[in-house]
Amino acid sequence: MVSQLSHVLVRTPTTVGKFVEDGHWRQPDLAALLTEHEAFVQLLASLGCQVHTAAPLEGLVDSVYMHDPMIMTPHGAILLRMAKPIRSTEPKNFGDDLVRLGVPILGALTAPAHADGGDKVWLDAKTLLVGHGYRTNAAGIEQIRALLTPFGVTVHAFDLPHFMGRDAVLHLMSVISPISHDLAVVYETLAPVRMLELLESRGISWLTVSESEMLTQGGNILTIRPNVVVLAAGNPEIEAKLRAKNVEVHLFHGENVAVRGDGGPTCLTAPLQRLP
């Protein structure tokens, strides 16, 4: 998740749908959804990413968060089953986009499995961390493990806390964002202890993000390549900590398209290829 991001898929946000009732967003400015997303696409392109864009899905307000319907692996995509009812059709739409782009599909989860892409973090090509919470269940973790074990990938599962309940968004990536091969940003208050112990055993240090900035997506950071990141604007504390570590920080102004839907820069992207 820190190697050079070369190909990435995004989806143009829809302006048609019940953002508050169905998506549990805080009502966004609909015009700003489009302008903020377009600026985000331009930023990714300026940083050397080849950006592929999928069409909006009317009524599916969360579909702009392309990180969740699948897990991209070095061996092809795994299409997931999403626990949030309104998002249940998104993996099928996502699969159609992958076929159009010629991206290989490794497999797909089946009932009773549920999983979101936001609950996965790659430490390296052979080590996948998965959060067990309200969006990813035990069956989902076991099916992901079964698909990846033949390739020598070790899957580590960590329990996530109740936090604000089933309807709130808490993914593993809500508490950790890799920045380089030996640095991450972590919201320690909700971080699984065994995950922190694993980071320490791998020689990975971390910068802590505060509760206030975790809630404004200061912990959801998209790494373009080691120590070059995209951070949601409005998080000066973690921005300063990153810059003090000589991390190149690019700010993304996404109050409407990201923060009001409890998403960040990583959530808006589906990485298709990262270079070794």
What band does 202 get if pLDDT is binned at 50, 70 and 90? very high
User: Residue 38: CB partners within 8 Å, gap ≥ 6?
Assistant: none
Residue position matching structure tokens 């302008």:
35
- Please tell me the predicted confidence (pLDDT) of residue 22: 87
Q: What is the largest CA-CA distance in the chain?
A: 47
What band does 274 get if pLDDT is binned at 50, 70 and 90? very high
- Please tell me the predicted confidence (pLDDT) of residue 276: 82
Q: Is residue 31 within 8 Å of 257, Cβ to Cβ?
A: no
All domains of the chain in start order, with CATH: 5-274 (3.75.10.10)
> What single letter denotes the amino acid at residue 256?
N
Q: Which 8-state DSSP code applies to residue 74?
A: B
Mean pLDDT for 180-185 is 98
- Please tell me the predicted confidence (pLDDT) of residue 12: 98
- Predicted TM-score of the model (pTM): 0.95
Angstrom distance (rounded) from CA 137 to CA 276? 31
> What single letter denotes the amino acid at residue 103?
V
Angstrom distance (rounded) from CA 187 to CA 210? 7
Angstrom distance (rounded) from CA 79 to CA 115? 9
